Amino acid sequence: MTHDVAQPSGTSDGPVSSTSEVLDSGRDQPGFPADRSSELFDNFYHRELPRLVALARALAGPGAADDLAQEAMLKAYRHWSKLLTYDRPEAWVRRICANLATSLLRRRAAEARALVRLSARRQSVALSESHDAFWDQVRHLPRRQAQSVALRYLYDMQVLEIAQTLGCSEGSVKVHLSRARQALAAQLVADTEGSA
């Protein structure tokens, strides 16, 4: 895990819109005025959320992705004062999201919540068949392999970044990626031959 104390991030100039529908607002964060802290979180939220949803969808499927990403963001908000002291708070929320998405129990709960709200929400945009099959195979990989693949392709992360995000060694990430590639290649070949 990266818990380096450094200049906090979250200072980009992206548009600020309220996240109060999702989160309680106005919580004061030590070292930052409440409005400044809130603004930093808003920026962080808007900057990180889209890819966080993609990460959750890659690892958990479309049904639960939004809820899982929001849940990761909710945790980030609850720990925001601590995250502000981190060098890379985005690494923290990505790791949380990846863990949530590969936790079967939480995935089921998020899927159940999503089903309840299905009628009131926009439908997930469908992926093309081959891409859907690819992510489906990723979801069948062991947890760490799936997380490594998703971070590699969705965030363009190199091995070191993946290791820092997941809190493990570079060596183990290399092994995870290698084994994932082998498994994916073998499975996709099998699928191709099966459909031929």
Partner 1 sequence: MSTSRLDQLASAAADELLNTAATGTDTVARRAELDRVRRNRRGVRLTAVAAVMASVLIVLLVEGNFFSNSNPQPMKPLPGIDVGDVPVWYDDAGLHRGNIVEQTPVELRQLDGMAIEDGALALVRNGALYLDPATGDVWFHPWGGDPRIVGQDSTTGPSGNPDGDIAAWFEGGHLVVYDTAADRVIARELPFWKVERAFGSNTCHAMCAEHAQPGNGFLLVSAERVIWNSSPSGEGHGPSNIYDVRTGQVSVADTKSVGRDEAELVDVSDDAAVYSVQDKSLWGWHLVLDIPGRAPQEYAEVNPRSRFSPSGNYLTSVGARAEGSGERVSAAIIDTRTGELWPVPETRYSWSAWSYGDIALVQQEDELLACDAALRTCETLPAEPPFLMPTN
What is the enclosing helix (H) or strand (E) of 26? Answer: none
Minimum separation from the CB atom of position 188 to partner 1 (A): 5
Size of the site for partner 1 (CB under 8 A): 61
Which residue of 4, 6, 11, 12 would you call a contact of partner 1, by CB under 8 A? 12
Which residue of 22, 29, 87, 155 would you call a contact of partner 1, by CB under 8 A? 155
Would you count residue 27 as binding partner 1 (CB under 8 A)? no
- Which residues inside 83-142 make contact with partner 1, applying CB under 8 A? 92, 96, 99-100, 103-106, 122, 124-125, 127-128, 130-131, 134-135, 142
C-beta pairs of 104-110 under 8 Å, 24+ apart in sequence: 106/68, 106/71, 107/60, 107/61, 107/64, 107/68, 110/60, 110/63, 110/64, 110/67, 110/68, 110/71
C-beta pairs of 32-40 under 8 Å, 24+ apart in sequence: 32/81, 32/84, 37/80, 37/81, 37/84, 40/8, 40/10, 40/11, 40/80, 40/84
Instruction: List the structure tokens of 141.
Output: 């990989």
Please give the residue ranges that form the binding site for partner 1 (CB under 8 A): 1, 12-15, 17, 46-47, 49-51, 53-54, 57-58, 65, 75, 78-79, 82, 92, 96, 99-100, 103-106, 122, 124-125, 127-128, 130-131, 134-135, 142-144, 149, 152-156, 158, 166-168, 172, 175, 177-178, 181-182, 184-185, 188-189, 192
